[in-house]
Amino acid sequence: MEDLTKSQLILLALLVSFVTSIATGIVTVSLVNQAPPQVTQMVGRVIEKTVEVVSPSDSDIASVVETIIVSDEEMTVKAVEKVIPTVVSVVVTKDVPVLEQYFVNPFQDDPLLRDFSLNVPQYRQKGTEEKKVSSGTGFIISDQGMIVTNKHVVADEKANYSVILNDGQKFDVEIIARDLMQDIAILKIKKEENEESKTFKYASLGNSDNIKIGQKVIAIGNALGELQNTVSVGIVSGLNREIVASGAMGEERLFEVIQTDAAINLGNSGGPLLDLRGKIVGINVAKSSSGENIGFSLPVNIIKKIILDIEEFGEIKYAMLGVRYITIDNQISKEKNLSVDYGAMLVSDKENNAEAVFKDSPADKAGLKEGDIVLEFNGEKITSKKTLSLFISKSRVNDEVILKVLRGEENLDIKVTMGEQPK
């Protein structure tokens, strides 16, 4: 064979590559044709994607991008369609005075001035009427009509509450519980005697511990109190935020909050934040008053504890450990010359006669002592962001927990059965 020129060698290499790619394609398609239908369908999609990706033309690249976008949109639409039937508008009504106007001549009894036509308007109450005073959002979490919303939506104990379903049906509701620790309330639809067998579509709760920053989320709510089931899409912008929310109930500090840029407007409070699978991951609770596209949701996992309490006890119960402590950080560690820079040190307050370990409390019964440093709660480190109080608030009455404790130079694992906070 004659020696090939450089150009010929390049041409030959390209030809071999082309023939090889065709042969590979033929073999792949042949194998696919012999495979079961499910495999054929799956591999077919892979081949289609591969062909589109390797194609150098702009139209094919645009096709790939379009395919991905359409798929994302379809997931969003399906998630919304799945959840919207479970979202309700919470309507707050109250008996308000009905006033009527009348006119009085202030000089009626004055013989010199009473002939002047001087009528001053006055108002008096002639009765009351029930009027809508506010509204919010909620979502159904059981087929018997149990509903989650924000506590501040149903804060007025003298008001009347009802919900409007997505299909327009209206039902009165009763307040089952208002959480003292979180901005959460549980309602239940009232049924008539002939409606006892009636059931409702309900939302599926996800796991808020698994959500990631950058993940797409969808907020649904009764925007501005009028625009029922308004949908907005965004991403998770931050996790484990600590915020101070202000409202009619005053200020409330909220922990481990999800930050999102999905629009959360007035009236959206209590509505669901969901992922693209249609699972609820948060409860919309607040928006920033000083910046745009900054909304906040409570993680859905806090609801699960509340539901279990209501099912077991008929009310929300709050766990108690029974200790007084300070949270250790770098500064406290240096000041007290400690061997660790995290944890909760059990300390007393002699001036106020407050013991480090309350008598007969779960901590006392488990053998905790003043000066102990609780390093971990069920395997999780106690820090200034994840405080001992936070872990206690997530626990249920009668839960058995393991505390990793540093006592002097000794590490101990102490089992504690959580008690109940006195009412």
Encode the chain in three state secondary structure. CCCCCHHHHHHHHHHHHHHHHHHHHHHHHHHHHHCCHHHHHHHHHHHHHHHHHHCCCHHHHHHHHHHHHHHHHHHHHHHHHHHHHHEEEEEEEEEEEEEEEEEECCCCCCCCCCCCCCCEEEEEEEEEEEEEEEEEEEEECCCCCEEEECHHHHCCCCCEEEEECCCCCEEEEEEEEECCCCCCEEEEECCCHHHCCCCCCCCEECCHHHCCCCCEEEEEEEECCCEEEEEEEEEEEEEEEEEEEEECCEEEEEEEEEEECCCCCCCCCCCEEECCCCEEEEEEEEECCCCCCCEEEEECHHHHHHHHHHHHHCCCCCEECCECEEECCHHHHHHCCCCCCCCEEECCECCCCECCECCCCHHHHHCCCCCCEEEEECCEECCCCCCHHHHHHHCCCCCEEEEEEEECCEEEEEEEECEECCC
Among residues 7, 324, 285, 21, which one has the least CA distance to residue 149? Answer: 285
Kindly state the helix (H) or strand (E) to which residue 46 belongs, with its residue range.
helix 37-54
Among residues 98, 97, 120, which one has the least CA distance to residue 108? Answer: 120
Contacts of 204 (CB under 8 A, 6+ apart): 278, 279, 280
319 forms beta bridges with 420
Contacts of 367 (CB under 8 A, 6+ apart): 414
Question: Can 152 be counted among the known catalytic residues?
Answer: yes
Asked if residue 307 lies in contact with residue 139, where contact means CB atoms within 8 angstroms, the answer is no
Alpha-carbon span 333 to 356, nearest angstrom: 19
Catalytic residue among 162, 269, 297, 395: 269
Catalytic residue among 89, 152, 232, 237: 152
Catalytic residue among 179, 183, 261, 275: 183
Active site residues: 152, 183, 269
